[in-house]
A and B are shown apart, each in its own frame.
Chain A
Amino acid sequence: MSPLDSDIAHLLAGSMLLVSFLLLYQDRMFALLNFYAMHACVLGLSVGWQAYLQRAPHLFITALIALLFKGVIIPVVLHRIVVRLRIHRTIDTVVSIGPTMLLGMALVALSIIVMLPVTHTGGVFAREDLSFALSVVLLGLLMMITRRNAVSQVIGFMSLENGLILAATGARGMPLVVEISVGFSILIAFLVIGMFLFRIRERFDTVDLQALHMSRGESSGEEAA
């Protein structure tokens, strides 16, 4: 295929990484949701492009799900929740933005380093793209551990999921796992939104995990051994 094709794939993967950084940067709820939507859309595009490159029509479904479901529905629902829980004004970073960013850079560097010795480049899917996917995953994880409230943690998790899908779709000819993984990501999203947040809200008036931890199973200070 022409270098242009792989360049475009490359570009899309790179832009996902970029959006991940933007997600990491955001501390306002609504902005966070919007950037997540963008993240999902870019994913959709990249998956679509891969589908076109690999002549794999089933990947288009994945792309569509990514675009519609993750790009539209979930952000909207989360928006509702945020409004209902009245947490749209909270600024909830644990670590301040600067260090987080630096850490993110380090992660990207690390993922590139670990990918360097990879000799085999699976067709169109260049080593760099794989390292991009890896960095998206790591950034998602980083986001989960630098945010305090549940919604942003869920978003972090879902961006991590997106990274996975990026990698999976990139892996040429990888059978059925893609759909399943997407299905699972949706299932997870549902579980998160439906089951937990509402139940948690029944119990606690916040989704702040700190508060949730006020009721831990044990309290410290046991008698001596």
Chain B
Amino acid sequence: MSIVWLTQLAQVVVVLALAPLLTGVTRKVRARLLRRRGAPLFQPYRDLLKQIRKEVVVAENASWLFRAAPYIVFATTWVAAALVPTFATGLALGAAADLIVIVALLGTARFMLALAGLDVGTSFGGIGSSREMMFATLAEPAMLMAVFTLSLFAGSTELSSISAFMLGPHAGLNISLALALVALIIVAIGENGRIPVDNPATHLELTMVHEAMILEYSGRHLALIEAAAAVKLLLYLSLIACVFTPWGTAVAGAGALACLLGVAVYALKLLVFGFLLSLFETAIAKMRVFRVPEFLGVALMLGLLGTILLFVSRAPH
């Protein structure tokens, strides 16, 4: 039992520890692809520390919600990430929340952040919140459809069971799974505000979404939010990893060696996915805001298609 708790604890720490690194990796790769030297890999950690040490500037008419939001956002995102098996399945708290809950937790974070964007009462905050929520109205159902596909496929909404099933003999190449994967990737891009949906690096007023929402934040608050964003990216990647590339993940209560192996494999996966992500980002251009709904709509349609195919094709578990 205790080992299960240990892995869970380790996981909680690991996600938090690796998240900025992942961000750093993507930035670095991207810079290299653009023939820039780019910032060092550990720059994100430095940024976070720097921001934490700075004083916070809060607009006069900001309410308690504005100051509470970063903590809530960070906490929910972190918890959600901690519930996704990274290097080991069968987490102690895994039974507390299935995939749907994880999606919903991210929803809570987004909800609070959007409110915070409206709190100060600036036009940019409004733009950010409104657009972020509009994207979410398509991304969230798309994500859920992908979840449906997976859980119908595996006969469970528990991530551990799903990944166990994926390792098992029943899993094979299945068109629904492919559709779900594509949908999931699109959603990941959208939700994390990557190109082509949004550009995390820009502050051009009219193109930014996520950045506009957190425009008024500074200091430790900003640090928390940035950390949350990094964790979120990590979450999505490790979700994809745990479902579609479950190999090498340590099973519940495995020995320390297995866990170490798991960590290594996991880090490798992150590296690969991060690389692919940056490759993709450099390959295409950001699209107009009102093209995004179509982009995400595609994800929704794919997810729905996958689910329906599964509904009509498979006998239930």
Chains A and B directly touch (beta carbon < 8 Å): no
